[in-house]
Amino acid sequence: MIQNLQNIIVDSLLELIAPKHCCLCSDKLYNEVDRKNSYCQSCIENLPEAPNSDFVRERLLQSITADDIAISEIIGLTVYSHELPIHNAIFDFKYHGISKTAYTLGGLLGNKITEYSLHSDFIIPVPIHPAKKRERGYNQAEEIAKGICSVVNIPLIPFALKRTFYTASQTTTTSSAARWENVANIFNVDGTKSLYHDKNVLLVDDVFTTGATTNNCASLLLQHGAKRVDVAVIGITEKQ
Ligand SMILES: [Zn+2]
């Protein structure tokens, strides 16, 4: 009884000192379930559907040939655009150090992944350069992947891929051709070929725009023996 009362007092004080906000719309959260989730239910119910794999394949064909497409299925939590609340959430974990938002959205993405029959053997996050990781304190794709793993029972290999060059932020690189050029030959695969041989990999990233980054990583994993590479991202843009 006393313990319960203490918990209620502590919760009320925390609410006063540090009120919780929805990671999408930034509204204050009052409902206990919403506070635990870090988002309001209405925001999740109203998340616009992400473009599907066929749509993404057509986009990739604008830049590369069918033979060079290394991604099989792509699963997006939602469509990404600057005008939508998801932009704020992604901005928070990329530039404001709020890694928990990446984990939270990863959990939601994990729920969506369970609707597909991917049979993935590993989850591998798209890497960022070590210097950028030091600066940010974490790799946001890895935090998303951890969120996915909290829902699906698939081993995470955080350091399977390495980024060897520090490149300008893709969000400031406007042309599609420049993005493909930017990421060519900047990734390495760590580990022996036997590790990936005949395995289904689920590659995780934050936003899918041109597909240059994820397709490059997927291609490397296929070269190292992976049987199939699927991709899971928080947001997929409607335009590249
Ligand atoms: Zn909300």
Cα of 93 from ligand 1 centre, angstroms: 16
d(C-alpha 216, C-alpha 123), whole Å:
16
* Highest mean pLDDT of the ranges 141-145, 156-160, 164-168, 183-187: 141-145
Please write the tens of the pLDDT for every residue from 205-239: 999 999 999 999 999 999 999 999 999 999 999 98
- How many domains in the chain? 2
Cα of 70 from ligand 1 centre, angstroms: 35
42 lies in the same domain as 14? yes
- Assign 189 a pLDDT band (cuts: 50, 70, 90): confident
Please write the tens of the pLDDT for every residue from 131-144: 999 999 999 999 99
User: At residue 77, does pLDDT exceed 90?
Assistant: yes
60 lies in the same domain as 138? yes
Q: List Cα–Cα distances, 104 to 93, 101, 113, in angstroms.
A: 11, 5, 14
pTM of the model: 0.88
Question: For residue 21, how far is the Cα from the chain centroid?
Answer: 21
CATH label of the domain that carries residue 137: 3.40.50.2020
C-alpha triplet 42, 153, 117: angle, nearest 5°: 75
3 lies in the same domain as 106? no
Cα of 27 from ligand 1 centre, angstroms: 6
Cα of 199 from ligand 1 centre, angstroms: 38
Cα of 50 from ligand 1 centre, angstroms: 18
The stretch 179-190 carries a mean pLDDT of 80
Segments forming the whole domain that contains residue 23: 1-46
Residue predicted with more confidence, 38 or 14: 38
Of 9, 28, 46, the residue that ends a domain is: 46
